[in-house]
């Protein structure tokens, strides 16, 4: 799979050597395996991730429960996963990480997702569910931090998945709040196992084990009972209290000094914890709080020190709310609750440092060729010039990988003036505007970019960057070619034949031979123009050229797009046998690559149905026509 993936999101967080064993909860999780969904829903700091990671670690060791072989897939979610395409892509890749899953699992679904206009999530899930149904072993799929998902279409997609879940798959969701997933229906069908705050909070015995064995405090039973009562078994509160009590003589007095709800306890204890740390550690915690994931050299870049890895390992050993992300303990993240508090404190006390910290993070990621993260930090730090430079370097890579959603999101964030001083980015914005039907806005932007690209001077209110003033002629022509391609596609929608031909021919004249996708898009538009004119032979030549080029490139999605156009042309020519054979070939290609449910294939099936009717093969004609209409 070519898409850019952050692999640490797919790792099961390693458990510590010392932890509180909770056999009763483990048994409840085991018993839930024959239901569709296990939901762990509780506020921050109740040990949801720790419990589930300990459980799946045991599953992987034992490898069988009730003679069922168990595989595990894990996905740690973040705010960026509110993009349906990104969410589903990570879901597929996470399943691919499970042992014994074939390496091309979900390839067709990913191909659908990477198209410029992805199909609805349910279409992708149908392909995925059909593949999951062929896997012989049980898979436990964990979605951690699901409360970060707010996108309604993702909730709807997950409802569809749970409604049609193959028996081989069991879904586990850890969240701070109940998701919108038709839980009542699952509960009524006995397909839901629930663990909530009341189940997850420590009992008195578990609190004693945690405070004395894990945290090494050696408290009296009276102090433990008092602390457990004041925190109501809230694990984060107990851990913060334990850290605060290290080195204190009057622990009983300290325990009695705080009271109130979780928020008040939390505010009190975070002040105590941070106040106890040496200045160097205090600064380290605040300066690295902006990072979702961190490693030693990255921390050094933000703090200006050279002991980042040692500090991370020290924090890990001190149980200071840091979570290892790999077995080698090179990458870490802060516990989400602790990270939120640190970022809040950073904004309150050192807000002026935020931009500088994001700039440093962006530069480190850039130097380490982790360009996605470099761009994200540049955008968060509002260094739009740096972000624009980085995005420009990744446009062709992202285009080839099919990561259109990510690229579209980035260029949407950039100020419009920057899109004009950097016309390559403006052209990408215009392309995505045309895809969503904003043709007027796209054309207005293209007109302004056209003036920017004119080396004779533009007279606009902005000046192109130095880079664009001194563009090599071939690069200037490539941008003009892409601009003309977008115009040809817009005019194709309006049926303006004269302009389609003018713009498409200009694009093909300007675009270099290796700019295959843009040249092929121009050829498709040209084929539309010839079709409007009734010049079927010329339409055939243009569409056939695009099909062969995309076949050579191996781009299955665009092969189907061109094949649909070509099938329509062949049918108009009365080439019924060739139309039938082409449609049959494309249906088989789509099925082989799990793309049988996309709308282009539905249209191909309707054409196939019409042609089969001409051959009086009525049974198959009706079958394809019905299926085609249903899909398309």
In sequence order, the 6+-apart residues with CB closer than 8 A to the CB of 459 are 451
What does residue 388 show for φ and ψ, rounded to 5 degrees? -60, -45
Distances in whole angstroms, Cα of residue 127 to Cα of each of 71, 92, 312, 598: 21, 11, 42, 10
- DSSP-assigned letters across all residues of 114-137: TSSSPPPHHHHHHHHHHHHTT--S
Using CB atoms within 10 A of its CB, is residue 528 exposed (0-12), middle (13-18) or buried (19+)? buried
What number is the average pLDDT over the span 277-289? 92
**In sequence order, which residues have a C-beta less than 8 Å from that of residue 72 and are 6 or more positions away?**
12, 56, 59, 60, 98, 139, 140, 141, 142
CB within 8 Å of 56: residues ≥ 6 apart? 12, 72, 74, 140, 142
136 or 358, greater pLDDT: 358
CB 20 within 8 A of CB 46: no
Q: What angle do CA 95, 55, 12 make, to 5 degrees?
A: 45
- Render pLDDT for 286-305 as a digit per residue (tens, 0 to 9): 999 999 999 999 999 999 99
| Residue 97 pLDDT level (bands cut at 50, 70, 90) | confident
Q: What is the pLDDT of residues 435-478, one digit of tens each?
A: 888 999 999 999 998 888 875 655 455 555 555 555 677 888 99
The DSSP 8-state label assigned to residue 326 in this structure reads S
Question: pLDDT per residue over 115-174, tens digit each?
Answer: 666 777 887 888 888 888 888 888 999 999 999 999 888 999 999 999 999 999 999 999
> For every residue of 260-308, which 3-state class applies, written as one string?
CCHHHHHHHHHHHHHHHCCHHHHHHHHHCCCCCCECHHHHHHHHCCCCH
pLDDT above 50 for 337 = yes
Residue 345: per-residue pLDDT: 87
Give Dmax over CA atoms of the chain in angstroms: 94
| pLDDT reading at 262 higher than 80 | no
- Look at residue 112 and give its three-state secondary structure: helix
Using pLDDT thresholds of 50, 70 and 90, give the confidence band for residue 103: low
Give the up-direction half-sphere exposure of residue 231: CA atoms within 13 A in the CB hemisphere.
Answer: 28
Region 352-377 average pLDDT: 95
- What 3-state class would DSSP assign to 363? helix
Confidence class of residue 421 from pLDDT cuts 50, 70 and 90? confident
CA dihedral 362, 367, 369, 370 (to 10 degrees): -30
Say whether pLDDT at 481 is over 60: yes
Q: Is the confidence at residue 387, as pLDDT, over 50?
A: yes
CB atoms within 10 A of CB 342: 21
Q: Which range scores top for mean pLDDT: 246-255, 355-364, 411-420, 514-523?
A: 355-364
Which segments of 14-166 does DSSP mark as H helices, in order?
23-31, 48-62, 84-97, 107-113, 121-132, 152-163
Looking at domain 7-200, its CATH architecture is: 3-Layer(aba) Sandwich (3.40)
Q: How far is CA 371 from CA 17, 278, 365, 366, 467, in A?
A: 35, 34, 6, 5, 21
Residue-wise pLDDT tens digits, 597-607: 777 888 999 99
User: How would residue 338 be classed by pLDDT, with cut points 50, 70 and 90?
Assistant: confident
* Distance, CA of 278 to CA of 32 (rounded, Å): 46
CA gap 527, 498 in Å, rounded:
13
Token representation of residue 523: 């050829």
Residue with tokens 């392909």: 127
576-592 helix and 599-614 helix, angle to the nearest 10 degrees: 140
Mean pLDDT over all residues of the chain?
86
Characterise 67 by phi-psi region: left (phi > 0), alpha (psi -120 to 50), beta (else).
left
Q: What is the pLDDT of residue 367?
A: 96
Q: Provide the angle, in degrees to the nearest 10, between the axes of the packed helices 516-533 and 473-494.
A: 40
Instruction: Kindly give, in sequence order, each residue whose CB lies less than 8 Å from that of residue 379, ignoring residues fewer than 6 positions away.
Output: 387, 410, 413
For 503, the enclosing helix (H) or strand (E) is helix 497-510
* Rg of the chain on CA atoms, in Å: 29
Q: Which of 628, 507, 631 is nearest to 567 (CA)?
A: 628
Residue 456: the pLDDT is: 60
SS3 content of the chain, % helix, strand, coil (to 5): 65, 5, 25
Mean pLDDT score, 74-98: 88
Between the CA atoms of 520, 525, 531 and 532, what dihedral angle is there, to the nearest 10 degrees? 180
d(CA 395, CA 406): 10
**Within 10 A of 610 (CB to CB), how many other CB atoms are there?**
17
Lowest-confidence range among 8-17, 219-228, 589-598? 589-598
CATH number of 555-632: 1.25.40.10
Q: Give the domain ranges of the chain.
A: 7-200, 204-276, 555-632
- Return the bridge partners of 323, or none: 333
Cα separation, 351 vs 355, in Å, equals 8
**Contact yes or no for 74/144 (Cβ under 8 A):** yes
Cβ neighbours around 120 below 10 Å, total: 17
* pLDDT (0 to 100) of residue 1: 44
Token digits for 371? 């360009």
The region of weakest confidence among 52-61, 181-190, 428-437, 456-465 is 456-465
579-588 pLDDT, tens digit each: 999 999 999 9
| Residue 3 pLDDT level (bands cut at 50, 70, 90) | low
Residue 234 zone, left/alpha/beta (φ > 0; ψ -120 to 50; rest):
beta
pLDDT at 233: 83
Instruction: Tokens 């302004």: give the residue.
Output: 448
φ, ψ of residue 64 to 5 degrees: the values are: -160, 140
Residue 390 · residue 378 · CB < 8 Å: yes
Residue 99 pLDDT class (50, 70, 90 cuts): low
What percent of the chain has pLDDT above 70? 91
Closest by CA to 173, choosing from 142, 151, 201, is: 142
Sheet holding 64-65, edge to edge: 64-65, 68-76, 138-144, 169-175, 37-41, 192-196
Mean pLDDT of 418-445: 90
Q: Which two tokens stand for residue 120?
A: 């609805």
């Amino acid at each position: 799979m070519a898409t850019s993936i952050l692999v640490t999101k797919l790792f099961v967080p390693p458990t510590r050597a010392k932890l509180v064993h909770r056999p009763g909860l483990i048994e409840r999780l085991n018993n839930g395996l024959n239901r569709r969904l296990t939901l762990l829903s509780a506020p921050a700091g109740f040990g949801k991730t720790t419990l589930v990671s300990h459980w799946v670690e045991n599953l992987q060791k034992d490898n069988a429960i009730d003679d069922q072989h168990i595989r595990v897939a894990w996905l740690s979610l973040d705010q960026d996963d509110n993009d349906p395409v990104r969410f589903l892509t990570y879901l597929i890749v996470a399943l691919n990480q499970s042992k014994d899953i074939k390496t091309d699992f979900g390839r067709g679904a990913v191909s659908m997702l990477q198209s410029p206009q992805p199909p609805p999530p349910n279409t992708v899930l149908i392909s995925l569910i059909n593949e999951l149904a062929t896997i012989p072993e049980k898979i436990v799929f964990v979605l951690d931090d699901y409360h970060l998902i707010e996108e309604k279409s993702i909730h709807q997609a997950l409802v569809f998945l749970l409604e049609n879940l193959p028996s081989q798959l069991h879904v586990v969701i850890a969240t701070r709040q109940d998701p919108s997933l038709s839980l009542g229906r699952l509960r009524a069908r006995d397909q839901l196992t629930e663990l909530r705050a009341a189940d997850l909070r420590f009992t008195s015995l578990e609190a004693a084990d945690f405070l004395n064995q894990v945290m090494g405090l050696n408290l009296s039973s009276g102090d433990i009972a008092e602390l457990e009562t004041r925190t109501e078994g809230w694990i984060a509160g107990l851990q913060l209290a334990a850290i605060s009590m290290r080195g204190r003589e009057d622990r009983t007095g300290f325990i009695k000094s705080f009271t109130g709800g979780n928020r008040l306890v939390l505010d009190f204890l975070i002040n105590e914890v941070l106040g106890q740390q040496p200045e160097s550690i205090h600064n380290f915690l605040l300066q690295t709080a902006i990072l979702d994931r961190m490693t030693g050299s990255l921390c050094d870049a933000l703090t200006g020190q050279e002991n980042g890895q040692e500090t991370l390992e020290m924090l890990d050993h001190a149980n200071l709310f840091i979570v290892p992300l790999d077995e080698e303990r090179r990458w870490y993240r802060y516990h989400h609750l602790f990270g939120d508090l640190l970022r809040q404190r950073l904004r309150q006390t050192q807000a002026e440092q935020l931009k500088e910290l994001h700039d440093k993070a962006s530069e480190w990621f850039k130097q380490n060729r982790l360009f996605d993260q470099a761009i994200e930090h540049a955008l968060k730090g509002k260094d739009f010039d740096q972000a624009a430079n980085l995005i420009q370097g990744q446009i062709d890579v992202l285009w080839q990988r099919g990561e259109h959603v990510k690229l579209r999101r980035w260029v949407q964030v950039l100020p419009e003036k920057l899109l004009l001083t950097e016309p390559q980015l403006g052209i990408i914005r215009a392309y995505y505007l045309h895809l969503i039907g904003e043709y007027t806005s796209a054309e207005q932007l293209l007109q302004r970019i056209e003036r920017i690209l004119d080396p004779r001077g533009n007279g606009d209110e902005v000046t192109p960057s130095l880079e664009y003033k001194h563009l090599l002629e071939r690069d200037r022509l490539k941008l003009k070619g892409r601009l003309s391609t977008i115009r040809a596609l817009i005019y194709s929608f309006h049926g303006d034949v004269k302009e389609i031909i003018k713009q498409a021919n200009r694009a093909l004249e300007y675009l270099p031979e290796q700019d295959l996708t843009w040249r092929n898009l121009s050829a498709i538009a040209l084929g539309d123009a010839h079709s409007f004119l009734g010049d079927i032979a010329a339409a055939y030549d243009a569409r056939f050229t695009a099909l062969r080029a995309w076949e050579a490139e191996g781009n299955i999605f665009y092969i189907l797009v061109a094949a649909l156009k070509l099938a329509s042309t062949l049918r108009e020519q009365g080439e019924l046998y060739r139309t039938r054979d082409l449609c049959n070939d494309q249906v088989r290609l789509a099925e082989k690559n799990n793309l049988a449910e996309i709308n282009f294939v539905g249209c191909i099936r309707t054409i196939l149905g019409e042609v089969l009717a001409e051959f009086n093969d009525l049974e198959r004609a009706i079958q394809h026509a019905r299926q085609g209409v249903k899909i398309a």
